[in-house]
Amino acid sequence: MNKNAFLDAKNSLLMVRILARLDIERPGNEWLDKVISEVENANGYQKKVPLVNQTVFLSMAYSTLVWLRESYFKNKKAKKALSNRVMPLFSNHKIKIDKGEKAKEIGEKAPIEFIRRIRNSLGHANVSIEDNYFIFYDVNPKEKTDSVKIKMSWHALGELTEMVIAAGNDVLFE
């Protein structure tokens, strides 16, 4: 097992939480606003940039749902731990799933397949962003009707990464 994958996924989640906190604190903190503004200006931005943005979320999702998943969730016991952790996601969030006629069952009844499809989408850069949603596309190049489109909110994606990290913790420290 790659313990660095677990640590990197946890660190990615920590960075999102720190950035979210800095975004909240920035308006009332002149010093903090100045520091962040200097960095933004040095990087070519003329206006304030939301610190929690699509790039931050996609990097967190990649480190968790691609790297950590590939490192930890290979055997039946680990997949069961992952499935158990992910199940509440579907009752906590409205997630829209459209699947082609040859796609396997996905979602609440098949959370491992759900994560596999998101992993494929991230791994092949088949993700789009629409308003407050991420849309993940996964198509089997050999069988076009083996396809899935998953639309989920930023909040749902964040919660999913937390669940995968918790499952990694279960596997690492069993």
| 72 sits in which H/E element | helix 69-72
Which DSSP symbol is given to 65? I
Sequence-distant (6+) residues with CB within 8 A of 89 are 95, 111, 156, 159, 160, 163
What pLDDT is attached to residue 116?
A: 93
Q: Identify whether the C-beta of residue 18 lies closer than 8 Å to the C-beta of residue 60.
A: no
Pairwise CA distance, residues 108 & 95, whole Å = 10
Q: Which of 106, 101, 104 shows the shortest CA–CA distance to 83?
A: 106
Residue 83 has what pLDDT?
A: 93
List per-residue pLDDT tens for the chain, 174 residues long: 678 888 889 999 999 999 999 999 999 999 999 999 999 999 999 999 999 988 898 999 999 999 888 888 888 988 899 999 999 999 999 999 999 999 999 988 899 999 999 999 999 999 999 988 999 999 998 999 999 999 999 999 999 999 999 998 888 887
CA torsion sign, 153 to 157 to 159 to 163?
positive
CA distance 16 to 35: 18
| Angstrom distances, CA of residue 9 to CA of 29, 47, 161 | 29, 30, 8
Nearest Cα to Cα of residue 53 among 25, 19, 28, 29:
19
